[in-house]
Amino acid sequence: MPRSLLVFGNGLGMSLDPNYFNLTAGLAYAWDDDDIFSPEHRRLVSSAIPGVDLESYPRGEAQLDKLQMALVASDFLQAFEIEGVQWLTAQSRQLPNAFRRYIHAVATYFHSSQQSLPETFVAALAGYLEETKSHVALLNYDNLLYDALRDQGILRGYSGSLLDGFHADGFSPDHLDRKNTLRHGWYLHLHGSPLFVNNHKVMGNEREFLNPTEQCHIVLTHIQHKRSIIDKSPILSEYWKRLRKALTEARQVVLFGYSGEDIHLNETIAANCDGKPVFIVEWAGAGMPEDRQRYWSSRLAGVAIDLVAMDNILDFRDWNHLTV
């Protein structure tokens, strides 16, 4: 059976619990937790977000545009500093770490839901992945799909069907290399995970904070800055490199519960799918079929699109139906 590339968006969690897995809920949770995000850090971060103060949290990624520019400016100015010369105040130089702690806390919120996907949904998907060795890419921060496929034995390093690049010694591009391309696909966290700290995956207890010297690998920013965040991460940049290869290997692409709002992903798919069909499984409440067809045609210009609308996408089972 031909291999696919399956891309899962936030609709996976929203179909399970729309109140919990809404991005606004995570932004609010992390904003109000003094143990993770101190009032001093909130004041510093909010100063770079129009319309936000200590009492009002960001409502979405679109509000983070100026904050991201402030972070870039901070890094730029610090590069000029030499012994005895500081371009930033002691307070302003805390901005990058304060924001890292915040977005890490947001992602940890989604990773700590204690919820799980329906067993019948997971079983059907796992069977399809085992049979086809299809690639999987995620845009979410939660662990819903990761835990489900790990429990099914799909994610077990070279003993499973999918590789995510992590071994006991940490992440390496070499760990994504396949000795036999027919035996393994890739599992790619395109926008990162709160478990990715520095070059390792922190398992066991969830991380509640980052130290100033630690690097997180999470893409949570205004759309126009996402590519630059990805390029700065050795883990995420490697995942996107493999994504392009996955697109060439796959016979078809399946976008599952994806909003279509990530321009960098849309452009990557359109540029690399080479005339292959793209199946879109989405919530029927998103709009009338003709309106959704126009929407997706504008998002994926020149791509052959087949829409599958469902009242609840977690009721989907027939993965073989999405095969040409």
Of the candidates 46, 76, 111, which is a domain's last residue?
111
SS3 173: helix
Helix boundaries (H) for 86-210: 95-111, 119-132, 144-151
| The model's pTM | 0.92
What pLDDT does residue 71 have?
82
Of the residues 111, 128, 151, which one is the last residue of a structural domain? 111
Q: How many angstroms separate the CA atoms of 217 and 118, rounded?
A: 28
C-beta separation of 281 from 308 below 8 A: yes
- CA distance between the termini of the chain: 10
The 3-state DSSP class for residue 160 equals coil
- Kindly report the number of other CB atoms within 10 A of residue 72's CB atom: 13
Domain co-membership, 77 together with 138: no
Cα gap 75→257, rounded to integer Å? 36
Residue 162: which region, alpha, beta or left (left: phi > 0; alpha: psi -120 to 50)? beta
**Domain endpoint, select from 111, 142, 177:** 111
Q: Which amino acid is at 160?
A: G
Q: Which two tokens stand for residue 264?
A: 């960098």
| 41 shares its domain with 13 | no
Q: Give percent of the chain with pLDDT exceeding 90.
A: 50
Residues in the chain where the model's pLDDT stays below 50: 205-206
Predicted pLDDT of residue 213: 60
Residue 190: predicted pLDDT: 96
Q: Which domain holds residue 252?
A: 4-17+116-321
Residues 281, 159 share a domain: yes
Give pLDDT, residue 249. Answer: 95
- The H or E element spanning position 187 is strand 185-189
Per-residue pLDDT at 66: 87
CATH code, 306: 3.40.50
Does residue 122 share a domain with residue 81?
no
Helix, strand, coil % in the chain, rounded to nearest 5 = 45, 15, 40
The tally of domains found in the chain comes to: 2
| Tokens standing for residue 55 | 């009492």
Give the per-residue pLDDT at 86: 87
Residues 219 and 301 placed together within one structural domain of the fold? yes
Q: Are both 216 and 199 inside the same structural domain? A: yes
Structure confidence at residue 324 (pLDDT): 60
| Pair (190, 222) in one structural domain | yes
pLDDT of residue 203: 58
Model confidence over 88-134: pLDDT tens digits? 888 888 888 888 888 888 888 998 899 999 999 999 999 999 999 99
SS3 per-residue string spanning the chain: CCCEEEEECCHHHHHHCCCCCCHHHHHHHHHCCCCCCCHHHHHHHHCCCCCCECCECCCCHHHHHHHHHHHHHHHHHHCCCECCECCCCCCHHHHHHHHHHHHHHHHHHHHCCCCCCCHHHHHHHHHHHHHHCCEEEECCCCCHHHHHHHHCCCCECECCCEECCEECCEECHHHHCCCCCCCCEEEEECCEEEEEECCEECCCCCCCCCCCCCCEEECCCCHHHHHHHHHHCHHHHHHHHHHHHHHHHCCEEEEECCCCCCHHHHHHHHHHCCCCCEEEEEEHHHCCHHHHHHHHHHHCCCCCEEEEEECCHHHCCCHHHCCC
